[in-house]
Amino acid sequence: MAALLELDDVRARYGPVQALHGVSLSVDEGKIVALLGANGAGKTTTLRAISNTVRREGGIRFAGKAVGGGGPDDVARLGIAHVPEGRGTFAELTVWENLRLGAYTRRGPIKDDFARVTDYFPWIEERKNQQAGTLSGGEQQMLALARAFMQRPRLLLLDEPSLGLAPRLVTEIFRIIKDLNEEGLTVLVVEQNAHIALQLAQTAYVLEVGRVALSGPSAELQEHESIRRSYLGY
Ligand code: ATP
């Protein structure tokens, strides 16, 4: 199977802090891949490197072509949507305005996309004129996902979608991610909760101090002693 996304020795720093020391990974088309690791391991920075929201060195290829060092918009136009940690919706704008912004990097009418989004998130139809900042945390997380979806991406980068959410909402969001994936969307997801991440993803990479320490099929990693001890707690 062809890799949709490939990172080769990707490095990134924040001033004197070297956050990534050379991360190499690949994400096959149609898969869900999880990025695990302790706080500060470099998970968020890896997603930022892919979406060009942090300066990086090293090679990134998407759909067989090298991704240049342009701005985040250039990466969005390639078909990569990034849902950052902390949701990143525009609090002052309505739900509908947030969704329209999601579609700004592409042409064509957005009515059909709105209809598809409301299939996944039926509450959005009734709440489309509500200010995003007045939504609950779970709703804002769903809106961030819906906004990314409006971009019609080929690859979705998701940073900690379960953060701060009640277990019921986590289950719902993960079900939606799975549904989107079954429709063909490829997903790279950063997740602190290794239990659910390894259930969701077919493959996972474990980062330690800015490097890939372990990787493999989720089923194998679940059995791996150091993963069980460090991340699964048994
Ligand atoms: P977490 O789960 O805590 O978000 P992470 O695995 O996503 O962790 P990163 O956020 O990528 O880790 O951080 C990697 C390293 O870069 C850490 O040492 C962190 O302190 C540092 N870092 C991250 N953002 C900045 C920043 N804006 N300025 C300086 N250092 C930063």
Task: Answer whether residue 230 shows pLDDT above 90.
Answer: no
User: Which amino acid residue places its CA nearest to atom 9 of ligand 1?
Assistant: 42
Q: What is the mean pLDDT of residues 20-46?
A: 95
User: Residue 203 has what pLDDT?
Assistant: 96
In DSSP notation, 174-200 reads HHHHHHHHHTT-EEEEE-S-HHHHHHH
Instruction: Indicate the burial class of 30 (C-beta count within 10 angstroms; 0-12, 13-18, 19 or more).
Output: middle
Percent of the chain at pLDDT exceeding 70: 96
User: Residue 90 has what pLDDT?
Assistant: 87
User: Residue 194 has what pLDDT?
Assistant: 86
User: Residue 27 has what pLDDT?
Assistant: 98
Q: How far is the CA of 2 from the centre of ligand 1 (A)?
A: 30
Q: How many CB atoms lie within 10 A of CB 29?
A: 15
Tell me what the pLDDT averaged over the chain comes to.
89
Q: How far is the CA of 226 from the centre of ligand 1 (A)?
A: 23
Which of 39, 50, 51, 208 for mutating ligand 1's site (highest number of atoms within 8 Å of CB)? 39
| Spatial separation of the C-alpha atoms in residues 145 and 156, rounded to whole Å | 9
User: Residue 153 has what pLDDT?
Assistant: 93
Strands 186-190 and 155-159: parallel
User: Residue 233 has what pLDDT?
Assistant: 62
Alpha helices in 79-122 (DSSP H): 95-102, 111-120
Contact 103, 150 (CB under 8 A): yes
What residue type is assigned to position 149 of the chain? F
Q: What is the mean pLDDT of residues 64-85?
A: 88
| Spatial separation of the C-alpha atoms in residues 122 and 100, rounded to whole Å | 17
Q: How many CB atoms lie within 10 A of CB 133?
A: 11
Measured from CB, residues less than 6 Å from any atom of ligand 1 are 14, 17, 19, 37, 39-45, 192
How confident is the model over 37-52, as pLDDT tens digits? 988 999 999 999 999 9
Q: What is the mean pLDDT of residues 124-137?
A: 92
Q: Which helix (H) or strand (E) holds 65?
A: strand 65-66
Q: What is the mean pLDDT of residues 21-27?
A: 97
Q: How far is the CA of 38 from the centre of ligand 1 (A)?
A: 11
pTM given for the model: 0.92
| Spatial separation of the C-alpha atoms in residues 4 and 27, rounded to whole Å | 6
Among 214, 215, 180, residue whose Cα is nearest residue 200:
180
Task: Answer whether residue 127 shows pLDDT above 90.
Answer: yes
Q: How far is the CA of 100 from the centre of ligand 1 (A)?
A: 30
| Beta-ladder partners of 24 | none
Q: What is the mean pLDDT of residues 153-181?
A: 90
